[in-house]
C-alpha cells in the first residue's frame, strides 16, 4: 500500500511539474522567466503572451493538478484512509508545480494548481475562491492580492462545510501557507509601494502647512 501511494505521488508530481506556461511561451518565442515577474504561471503569461494564451496556461495548470487528483479520488476515495491518501497525492501535485524537477525545482506559485485540486475535491470552495479572486483583482488591480485572499477563503469555506473531510481542510490550510510564502516578494513590493505613497502624502501635507 505504501509503495502504491508513493507511485501515485510520483506520478502526480511529475505530471503537475510540467511547466506548461514556459513551454507555451517558448513556442511563442517568449521565455517567461525573462519577462515581467519571471514567473511561469498564468498571470505572467497574460502580460507576456496576451489574455488568450494566458487563459490557456491557466486552464492547463488547473488540469495538470486536477487530473491526477481526480484519478486518485476515484482510486482511493472509497477505501480505508481514502481522503488522507487523496490529500497526499494532491500535495505531491502542488509540490510538482512549485518545485519541478524539470526546472531545477524553480516553478510557479501554485494558485491555478490549487484551484484545480479543490475544483475536484471541494468545487463549491474553489468557485467561491475564484469569485473572490476576480472581485479582489477588479478592486485592486493586483493579482497577488486576489490569489492570497482566495487561498484564505477556500480554507474558510472547507472548514465550515461539514461535507468536506478534515484531511482536505488540512490540505487547504497547507496549500494556503505555501501560496502565501511563494507570494512573499509580491507582498514586499505592495508594502513598499504603500510606504512610498504614505511618504508622499506626508510630504504634501508638510508643504501645504509650510
Q: Which contacts of 2-6 are long-range, i.e. CB under 8 A and separated by 24 or more positions? A: 5/85, 5/88, 5/89
Ramachandran region of residue 36, left (φ > 0), alpha (ψ -120 to 50) or beta? left
Which band of pLDDT confidence, cut at 50, 70 and 90, is reported for residue 209?
low
pLDDT at 206 over 70: no
Average pLDDT over residues 54-65: 96
pLDDT 10s digits, 18-48: 999 999 999 999 999 999 888 898 889 998 9
The grid cell for 97 is 508545480
Q: Where are the domains of the chain?
A: 2-209
| pLDDT at site 202 | 73
Distance set, CA 181 to CA 164, 174, 188 (Å): 25, 11, 11
pLDDT 10s digits, 76-106: 987 889 999 999 999 999 999 999 999 999 8
pLDDT 10s digits, 135-146: 999 998 888 889
Q: Are 184 and 144 in contact (CB under 8 A)?
A: no
| pLDDT at site 27 | 94
The C-alpha atoms of residue 139 and residue 110 are separated, in whole angstroms, by 22
**pLDDT: is 162 or 193 the higher one?**
162
Length of the chain: 210
| pLDDT at site 189 | 76
| pLDDT at site 205 | 66
156 contacts: CB under 8 Å, gap ≥ 6: none
**pTM of the complete model:** 0.87
- Would the CA dihedral through 76, 82, 88, 91 be positive or negative? positive
Q: Are 97 and 64 in contact (CB under 8 A)?
A: yes
pLDDT at 210 over 60: no
| pLDDT at site 77 | 82
Amino acid at each position: 500500500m505504501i509503495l502504491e501511494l508513493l507511485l501515485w505521488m510520483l506520478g502526480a508530481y511529475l505530471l503537475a511539474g510540467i511547466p506548461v506556461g514556459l513551454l507555451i511561451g517558448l513556442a511563442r518565442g517568449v521565455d517567461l522567466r525573462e519577462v515581467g515577474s519571471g514567473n511561469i504561471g498564468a498571470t505572467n503569461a497574460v502580460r507576456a503572451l496576451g489574455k488568450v494564451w494566458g487563459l490557456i496556461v491557466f486552464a492547463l495548470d488547473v488540469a495538470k493538478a486536477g487530473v491526477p487528483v481526480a484519478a486518485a479520488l476515484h482510486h482511493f476515495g472509497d477505501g480505508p484512509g481514502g481522503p488522507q491518501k487523496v490529500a497526499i497525492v494532491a500535495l505531491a501535485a502542488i509540490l510538482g508545480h512549485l518545485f519541478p524537477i524539470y526546472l531545477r525545482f524553480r516553478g510557479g506559485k501554485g494558485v491555478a494548481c490549487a484551484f484545480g485540486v479543490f475544483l475536484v475535491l471541494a468545487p463549491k470552495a474553489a468557485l467561491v475562491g475564484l469569485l473572490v479572486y476576480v472581485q479582489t483583482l477588479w478592486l485592486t488591480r493586483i493579482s497577488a492580492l486576489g490569489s492570497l485572499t482566495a487561498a484564505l477563503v477556500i480554507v474558510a469555506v472547507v472548514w465550515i462545510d461539514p461535507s468536506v473531510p478534515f484531511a482536505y481542510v488540512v490540505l487547504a490550510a497547507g496549500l494556503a501557507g505555501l501560496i502565501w510564502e511563494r507570494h512573499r516578494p509580491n507582498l514586499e513590493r505592495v508594502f513598499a509601494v504603500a510606504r512610498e505613497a504614505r511618504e508622499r502624502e506626508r510630504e504634501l501635507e508638510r508643504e501645504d502647512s509650510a
